[in-house]
Structure 1
Amino acid sequence: MARSVAVRAAAVTGVVAALVATATACGASAGDDKEPEHRAFGLHGRTLTVDSDDSALDLVVSDSAKAGRVEVTRWFQGHVVVGGDPEVTWAMKDDDRLVLRMKCSGVVADCSARHRIVVPRGVAVTVDDGDGRVTARGFEEPLTIRTSDGSVRVSDSSGPLDLRSADGSIHALGVGSRQVRARTQDGSVRLELAAVPDLVESHSQDGSVSIALPRATYRVNTGSGDGSVRVSVPRADSSSHVVTAHTGDGKITVRTAN
């Protein structure tokens, strides 16, 4: 009897291990969804908060987007072998909070979601993403992005930027923002500005910091716990253009953009 129980237990363990290996080898990718879903949500006011627990997010400003409406496209792939069926939901709450959720749990579960969010011009956006990379382009209004686990990429934007990632790199390239704040605990920070900023604050706990600035005179403050520091922009303590760059472990470069 003891031998039979042991054999059955070993067989079940082997099956579960095989299922886990199969699911891991065939990892779900939202990019494999050939029939994404589309939906429009009403937006009241000039602010939008995107509240996502586990999804890659692409945010775009469009002049063709209708005022008072947010257009969302969703890609999703999910496989749960031992557990409940995977599920994704989306809803606009409190008139200005887009809530995106994914349910994917079980002994063998593998899910992936991606959302493309198109907002009309003139809307300030705040993103709070639990797990996923975030890209954004075209923003003239304030843009705030927080992600617990994922990279942040911003381009073609001129509004104030406040970008943070607990685990991921932050890149803001070709932006004309007068105020840029970028902070990550684990990852590099790369900022390339197209207009002379009033304030740039950058910090990485573990990663390099690189800042390219238009030609001007700056008040620069830098510090690296373990890494080289190279500042080649013109400097003056009286300058109203303030740049700070700090990292716990990594090199710092502050240079004039080519």
Structure 2
Amino acid sequence: MTVRSVRNRTRSTLVTAGALAGALVIVGCSDVSKDKDPETRDFALQGRELTIDSDDSALDVVVADVDDVRVTRWFDGNAVIGDADVSWRMVDGKRLELRVKCEGVITACDASHRIEVPRKVAVTVENQDGRVNATGFDTALKIKSKDGRIVVKDAAGPLDLDSEDGSLEAVGVSSRDIRAHARDGRVRLALTEVPDRIDVRSKDGSVEIGLPKAAYKVRAEARDGSVEVKVPRDASSPHVVSAVSQDGRIRVHTV
């Protein structure tokens, strides 16, 4: 190969790379979200049950004095040669779908939703890639999250919490029936009323359960960690606490 041909090939490569870089600069701002300020919308609810189906967003779910389900969203995103967008809709008056689309060569998206739910509505949350905070529920609350922590406060109804790759925390709750299962995350419960049943499972995470003073039937098992139970125990008690950790310590104590 001659020197001239090498120079020509090098020049051609540089031109192509330069053109591509120029195209990226031009296209880079072609799909930038304009939804940086919060936007609010009401969705009519049919019945007393609501399912929230969400992905790639942080969720704050609260009980409020509203007639419909009120959603406020914040979104900031951009994509180079791609798409950055959010959508929301109510399906059959019972299922609220929240979607975040962030696809392209280079993407950056940040989304969060605040969901105000009418009182006396049972709620199920199915969230992927995002934390979930829920506050003030005295009805049944079920939350399943993948790649995001779960925090529940001031709840009185039955709790069913399931987290994959995220911690679980329920504090200031008076729920009488609690199920909390975490994979790759710790579990922390702090109760204000004596429960009937607590079922906690943790894989690769510690467990801490704070209980009001009473006698409990306790089963605590840690396969690779210490166990500390500092509540009165009674094998015939109707207040049953089961805590199992595969890789982490267990602590059950009074508060």
Change (3 A) 1:225 1:5: farther
Partner of 2:10 in structure 1?
Answer: 3
Q: What's the secondary structure of 2:156's corresponding residue?
A: coil
| Counterpart AA for 1:209 | V
Q: What is the 5 A alignment of 1:1-258? A: 1-7=8-14, 33=36, 35-62=37-64, 64-66=65-67, 69-84=68-83, 86-257=84-255
**Is 1:161–1:181's contact at 8 Å kept on the other side of the alignment?**
yes
Any idea what the Cα deviations from partners look like across 1:218-246, whole Å, max 9, x if unmatched?
11111112111100101111111111111
In structure 2, how many angstroms separate the alpha carbons of the residues matched to 1:242 and 1:144? 20
| Richer in strand (by share) | 2
Instruction: Measure the CA separation in 1 of the matches of 2:219 and 2:243.
Output: 6
Contact preservation (8 Å) 1:82, 1:109:
no
SS of residue matched to 1:95: coil
Q: Is the 8 A contact 1:61 1:121 kept in 2?
A: yes
The amino acid across from 1:223 in the alignment is E
Structure 1 residue 3 displacement after superposition: 2.9
What TM-score does the superposition give when structure 2 sets the normalisation length? 0.88
Size of the aligned set, in residue pairs, is 240
**In percent, how many aligned pairs have the same letter?**
51
Whole-Å separation in 1 of the counterparts to 2:220 and 2:19:
58
- In the other structure, the counterpart of 2:29 is none
1:6 positional shift: 4.7
Q: Find the residue that maps to 1:158 and give its secondary structure.
A: coil
Structure 2: give runs of 5+ residues left out of the alignment.
1-7, 26-31
> Match of 1:59, SS?
strand
Q: Matches of 1:229 and 1:114 in 2, distance apart?
A: 38
Change (3 A) 1:199 1:8: farther
Q: Deviations over 1:17-61 (max 9, x none)?
A: x99xxxxxxxx9xxx94x200000000100000011221100110
Secondary structure of the structure 2 residue equivalent to 1:238:
coil
Give, as a single letter, the amino acid of the residue that structure 2 aligns with 1:183.
H
Q: Specify whether residues 229 and 2 from structure 1 end up closer, same or farther in structure 2 by C-alpha distance, changes over 3 A only.
A: same
Contact 1:170 1:182 in 2 (8 A): yes
For 2:18 and 2:183, how far apart are their aligned partners in 1? Answer: 44
In 2: Cα distance, 1:117 partner to 1:83 partner: 29
1:239–1:5 distance in 2 versus 1, CA, 3 Å: farther
How far residue 9 of structure 1 moved from its aligned partner, in angstroms, is 6.7
Partner of 2:10, secondary structure, is helix
- Could you say what secondary structure the match of 2:103 adopts? coil
Partner of 2:210: helix, strand, or coil?
strand
CA distance in 1, matches of 2:168, 2:102: 28
Q: Give the direction of change, closer, same or farther, for the CA distance of 1:114–1:2 in structure 2 (3 Å limit).
A: same
Per-residue CA deviation, residues 187-244 of structure 1 (Å, 9 max, x unaligned), is 1100001110011011110111000000111111111121111001011111111111
Q: CA shift at 1:156, angstroms?
A: 0.6
CA contact (8 A) 1:56 1:132 kept: yes
The 3-state SS of whatever aligns with 1:3 is helix
Q: Is residue 220–residue 235 contact of structure 1 (8 Å, CA) maintained in 2?
A: yes
